[in-house]
A and B are shown apart, each in its own frame.
Chain A
Amino acid sequence: MSTDIEAGLLQPEALAGAVKDAAAIIAAASNLEELAAAKSATLGDKAPVSLARRAIGSIPGKERGEAGRNVNAARTEITGLYEAREEILKAAEAARILREETVDVTARTARRREGARHPINVQMDRIADLFVAMGYEIGEGPEVELEWFNFDALNIHPDHPARTMMDTFHIADGKGEYGSNMVLRTHTSTVQIHTMLTQEPPIYTVAPGRVYRTDEVDATHSPVFHQTEGLVVDKGITMADLKGTLDHFAKSVFGAEAITRLRPSYFPFTEPSAEVDVWFAAHKDGPRWIEWGGCGMVNPRVLRACGIDPDVYSGFAFGMGVERALMLRHGITDLRDIIDGDVRFPAGLKVEE
């Protein structure tokens, strides 16, 4: 190759032509593979700008400076064209891969079993939370009870008519006969006694729990059900305090419009005693009064049996059915749905925890 030809590569026109050619080659590359070939053709060892750089040595020294600058400018321009094209092609390639990886996000099978808590237990937890927020503690007691806790200490002596009113499961004695002196607790009021025997007033306690009565299962009865007991013993506690506490409780269970109404009634362990009705605005058959539970001022005889001086302290107590409130709130018409163990009930009834 003659040096003239080499020197000709350094002519500005030649460099401009090389840039133009390179631009066409780079633009023609439609993917990164072709772009790699285009790079080799336009910026590689055999590319015109590379050959031109090598030709610089063959020209006079004083011309080299300018020739070098021209070659560099051309090379820089071609590199710029290449990089711009590379960016476009890389983006297209990334977009292609993402497009090809597209799935049908609705074609999915659940990989996780769905669990749930039982609404009755959730309901009891919520009640506990409400009263904890009011400073109460949560009381507990056994389900198989001494008759003394279930009856005697609650002023239900052996011949009391109320003792026959309650349909009690008795525990068989060692010979399988009557006389064990133990029962399945018929109410959570037993927890009142445990609490008062172990704590000094002031006592502010609620006790949600399971209770037992000999009722055959039907749409509204079960031999195993749940109650929430409440007990307050302090100085100067009045029935107005009971009413206010129940109003507050009612609003939490039955909505902001709920109010309560007390009707005179009888429980051996409270005197005065009352039945509580609650105004339930969201009842499925329209707003109405519904029976909610029993309550009253703790009978001084009960305080005395627990070693609390009724001349110093007074108190109130209440007991509400948990199932009934749940049924009313959610329009459940058959109690058996709650109790028969079908997993579709807890899974299907989402109760806010």
Chain B
Amino acid sequence: MRIPVSWLAEYAALPDDLTTEALDAVLVEAGLEVEEVDDLRGRVTGPLVVGRVASIEELTEFKKPIRHCWVEVGEAEPRSVICGARNFAEGDLVVVALPGAELPGGFKIGSRKTYGRLSDGMICSARELGVSDDHEGIIVLESGTVGEDARPVVGLDDVVFELAITPDMGYCFSVRGIAREVAHRLGVAFTDPAAKAVEPAATEHPPYPVRVETDGCSRFTLREVRDVDANAESPEWMAKRLTQAGMRPLGLAVDVTNYLMLELGHPLHAFDRDALEDVMVVRRAKAGETLTTLDDVERKLDPEDMVITDGTGPLSLAGVMGGQTSEVGPTTRNVLIEAAHWNPTAIARTSRRHKLTSEASKRYERGADAAISLLAAQRAADLLVEYGGGTLVDAVADIDHREPITPITIPVDLPSKTIGVDYDRSTVVAMLEAAGCTVEGDEVLTVTPASWRPDLTDPADLVEEVARLHGYGHIPSSIPRAIAGTGLTSSQRRRRRVARALADNGFVETYTFPFVSRDRADELGLDEKDPQREAVAVLNPLDDAAPLLRTTVLASLVNAVRINLSRGAKDLAVFEEGLVFQPAEGWSDLEVVELPVSKRPEDEAIAAAIRRLPVQPRHVAAVLCGQAVPAGVDAPGRAVDWADAVEAAEVVAAASGVTLDVAQGEAAPWHPGRCAALRVDGVVVGHAGELHPEVCERLGLPRRTAAMELDLTALPLPDLAPAPVISHFPATLIDVAIVVGETVPAGEVEAALRAGAGELLDSLRLFDVYRDAKLGEGKKSLAFKLELRAADRTLTNEEGVAVRDAAVAVAAERFGAAIRE
């Protein structure tokens, strides 16, 4: 909403010394967010005066017709001015920028020779002055004094505030509403612009036959003006204000309705009475009806849309936009003015349904003041008569189905209790009255909100009015007493430890948008039946190419890897932890459960409703490529491989206090021979290894890129851990090399040795894998270091050998393993 200060000042008695900054602060304190302050006074600098065209000489020797004018500007002699426009005559008053003036865009006016004549100034158009976009010709003034400053005449003496209006302050989509707020804050007089007209009484016969057949219209009023020049140019003051408010003057009838909408906040509509046929009926649309609205769009109407119709069908989409057939046109002589009040919800729905937001719908959606419908229509008729020269028809239609406004009861101390400011009764009452409410009662107030405040429905709304109108600046700063909190939860602490551990181990944390393309599943090589293909889709994605929500973090994390590669990075280790989205089984067949808001929904209802939500576990994934250790002065460097990914998973596991069982796995998008399945307590919680070469190729990742992904949610939270037994006796060290078949996993041999060694085994480590023809075809030797220790004694060599033999015996039993001699 753009509001010129001069318009505001007409209804709020602004002090003369009120600065722009002070008014800005006042508006903000009232809850009207100032988006822009447009100081028109600075648009044109230097001399800009009213001039009178004394004579016009038509110059025809040039490519286009040019006028050489002598213009009186209040000096001893008229000035010579060259002008290309033709919409003025000798004797007209115009706006002249004299040498030394500077127009918007840095256009400096000087004395110069052009078209063989001296041009000693410029006759200006509205666009050149930055007043409006109108470039149809130069401005011809209705009145003015030659030689005087032209700024006030064209509206360049004003400051325009552009305000953002919150949904609860619909009444501030008007000068009336804003003036009321400003007057209250400044403690100055407010004059209600609605009082400019006198409400007439409805007559037995309306100016035009009309029926209201919908409950969505609580008031419908009509006034009529005959033999009016509906397209007359609007008076300068009105055109100026419309322009300042950002609307284009189009002709008297339309301008009057727009002007009053801005001033009163009540939309109006002007019909060409002679274009109407039969009875006007206000009703809901019928299925199949269409209407071509003023924006030249043919709209299929919905049975919920409210329309104003005549014998030919819908004339206008009620409260939103008029139709083309009944508009005021060039030939209109008789104007029917409609001012009605529509159900806000119905208007909001229609507006949304047709994706059509108009100045009228914005106001009706937030609730216009039904009390002034007829006043607004009357005022429009008065202005038409005054400036368009018509006759006001006596007949008045006022179909009034308004419900009385429901009073709200509120304990007088509720504002104090809620805000923490001690408001006495008289303050509470004064503030509520300032909001336009009628207040009765003592300890408990009965408050009837004003007709323009449909947003006030609850005691809390009244509390806000008291606090707001008294001033938020008065609210003190206190702090609630600390309560007995329990800190982060175990899983929250784990989440931090995991991220910190990965960062400490050389991984950079990043996050990616969870939106992925439909092709991503193929790029990752997911099997046709892979459940990770089951994804939830966004109905209105920003990027149509990426409508799905990720089912794994890797699916989107690879995007970050690609960004870094494209920017020249080669060695990368990144990780991300975040939610993934897995559709709940059969969710789309489950019924949508409607939950109430008037009371807490039943637990069963909540549970049933939530059943349709995707399962959203928290995953952590890491990707590595390039060199794990860069080549340096003392080392040749080492390329990333599958083991780095497994180790990353182990970092996560260690930080989570769980032990991963690592076993040969096979899952997309990993290399089928270089993929580890990661289990905790027998449950697969993720995979790690080298990515499939084809996946790397499809995604543009370097060969041998390694990755891991773990379901953090699936990791059990650690229990109270038992303390380790610390032996003070020396360890017995034994190396053992075991020969097994090539296909036997080292991890399983290790597990067998552990099982066989029993309690005396302190640690076990694979330190060599050896293959040789002497071992035999398809055999390998695995060398382990065993560290044995007892809690209560130094082990003898015999005991050590016995443990080793027991360990090997289990390996032998499970895999036919033999000790390599």
Chain A residues with a Cβ under 8 A of chain B: 107-118, 120-121, 125, 128, 132, 134-138, 142-146, 148, 152-153, 155, 157, 159-162, 164-165, 169-182, 184, 197, 202, 204, 210, 214, 216, 223-224, 232, 234, 236-241, 243-245, 247-248, 261-266, 271-275, 297, 299-301, 304-307, 314, 339-343, 346-347, 353
Contact = CB atoms under 8 A, between A and B. Distances in A.
B579 A142 contact: yes
A152 B595 contact: yes
Interface stretch (B387-395, B566-574, B726-734, B796-804): B566-574
Contacts of B28: 263
Nearest 3 Cβ contacts at the A-B interface: A109-B632, A174-B588, A307-B600
A161 B365 contact: yes
A144 B616 contact: yes
Interface in B739-775: none
Given A172-B539, A238-B478, A117 B503 contact: yes
A108 B476 CA distance: 59
Contacts of A180: 539, 588, 612
Contact of A304 (B419, B510, B588, B599): B599
Given A135-B484, A238-B417, A264-B468, 16 more contacts: A108-B634, A112-B506, A113-B571, A113-B628, A117-B509, A120-B511, A121-B499, A138-B492, A144-B614, A159-B348, A159-B349, A180-B588, A182-B614, A241-B478, A273-B464, A299-B460
Chain B's interface size range is: 35 or more
B540 interface: yes
Nearest to B632: A109
Contacts of A297: 418-419, 460, 463
Given A204-B485, A341-B563, A239 B506 contact: no
Given A136-B485, A144-B614, A177-B539, A239 B418 contact: yes
Given A138-B488, A178-B539, A264 B511 contact: no
A224 B633 contact: no
Given A115-B503, A174-B588, A304 B485 contact: no
16 contacts: A152-B595, A161-B348, A169-B539, A170-B539, A172-B536, A180-B539, A210-B578, A244-B480, A263-B29, A264-B464, A271-B460, A273-B464, A300-B458, A301-B458, A305-B600, A343-B510
B167 A232 contact: no
Contact of B488 (A128, A266, A275): A128
Nearest to B574: A343
B538 A171 contact: yes
Contacts of B477: 240, 243-244, 247
A109 B635 contact: yes
B480 A115 contact: no
B461 A271 contact: yes
A182 B613 contact: yes
Nearest to A273: B464
Nearest to B588: A174
Contact of B485 (A132, A248, A275, A342): A132
Contact of B489 (A138, A210, A223): A138
B560 to A, nearest CB: 3
B600 A197 contact: yes
B486 interface: yes
A243 B499 CA distance: 33
Interface string B440-463: 000000000000000000111101
B725 interface: no
A119 B21 CA distance: 38
Contact of A300 (B31, B460, B482, B507): B460
Interface in B477-503: 477-480, 482-489, 492, 496, 499-500, 502-503
B684 interface: no
Interface string B617-655: 000000000001111111100000000000000000000
Interface in B558-604: 559-560, 563-564, 567, 569, 571-574, 578-579, 581, 587-589, 592, 595-601
Nearest to A112: B506
Given A171-B537, A265-B31, A146 B597 contact: no
Contacts of B513: 223-224, 339
Nearest to A107: B633
B67 to A, nearest CB: 48
Nearest to B507: A115
B467 A272 contact: yes
B29 to A, nearest CB: 7
Contact of A343 (B468, B484, B569): B569
Given A204-B483, A341-B559, A263 B31 contact: yes
A261 B538 CA distance: 38
B508 interface: yes
A148 B563 contact: no
Contacts of A265: 31, 33, 166
Query: Which of A143, A248, A347 has most chain B Cβ within 10 Å?
Result: A143
Given A115-B503, A138-B489, A171-B536, A248 B167 contact: no
Contacts of B29: 263-264
Nearest to A297: B418
Contacts of A340: 560, 563
Contact of A121 (B33, B479, B484, B509): B509
Contacts of A143: 514, 579, 581, 616
B418 A169 contact: no
A173 B588 contact: yes
A299 B418 CA distance: 11
A132 B488 contact: yes
B541 interface: yes
Contacts of A305: 596-601
B508 A148 contact: no
A155 B597 contact: yes
B625 to A, nearest CB: 12
A244 B478 CA distance: 4
A114 B506 contact: yes
A224 B613 CA distance: 20
Nearest to A148: B595
B609 A109 contact: no
Contacts of B547: 172
Contacts of A184: 538
Nearest to A129: B488
B788 interface: no
B505 interface: yes
A68 B612 CA distance: 108
B188 interface: no
A239 B475 contact: yes
A262 B567 contact: no
B195 interface: no
B467 A239 contact: yes
Contacts of B632: 108-111
A160 to B, nearest CB: 7
Contact of A238 (B420, B587, B597): B420
Contact of A161 (B366, B480, B571): B366
Given A109-B634, A214-B540, A266 B168 contact: yes
Nearest to B345: A159
A343 B612 contact: no
A154 B537 CA distance: 25
B792 interface: no
B421 interface: yes
A266 B614 contact: no
Interface string B1-40: 0000000000000000000000000001111010000000
A225 to B, nearest CB: 10
B480 A172 contact: no
A134 B482 contact: yes
Contact of B509 (A135, A175, A314, A346): A346
B633 A109 contact: yes
B294 to A, nearest CB: 22
Contacts of A232: 480
A153 B581 CA distance: 23
Given A132-B488, A240-B478, A153 B597 contact: yes
A170 B538 contact: yes
A305 B599 CA distance: 5
